[in-house]
Homo-oligomer: A and B are copies of this chain.
């Protein structure tokens, strides 16, 4: 699809807003993600952002999506499955506060809830694909593996202990 000049302008403006949102989210969390604040930062009227994003929730989703895509693009495509799981868990640990916020907001916003489901399903599919036919009851195993990883992330342990527990879980749940 060929893009018109105005379309490119629009994309740039949206990108500028999402960029500001992403930076604020990573710096100070959800409470730093202020629609009014971003508008001030970009030097426009405080309600200008609403032309591009109908609610703050939509902007939140766009910002989180940008963050997750960056990670997804850098993820290792080969190597032992358990190593790749550890890699992903490491990245997610850095984003843990943000993920907790998303979980919390999902209870109040269908937009965020839908996005969260989408992301989780992607993760599940990747994991099912990676485990392949190495395991009997794929669904339960994946469910438990995701669950234990989420639980470990919640603990916010030191990296050595976290890695050890992930490997130990993998051993006991998958190749045990």
Contact = CB atoms under 8 A, between A and B. Distances in A.
A79 to B, nearest CB: 24
Interface string A142-176: 01101111111011000000000100110011001
Identical copies of this chain, number: 2
Contacts of A169: 144, 147-148
Nearest to A102: B104
Nearest to A176: B172
A25 B7 CA distance: 45
Contact of A29 (B101, B107, B154, B155): B107
Interface string A101-113: 1011001100000
Interface of A: 29-31, 97, 100-101, 103-104, 107-108, 140, 143-144, 146-152, 154-155, 165, 168-169, 172-173, 176
B143 A155 contact: yes
Nearest to A157: B143
Most buried by B among A100, A104, A147: A147
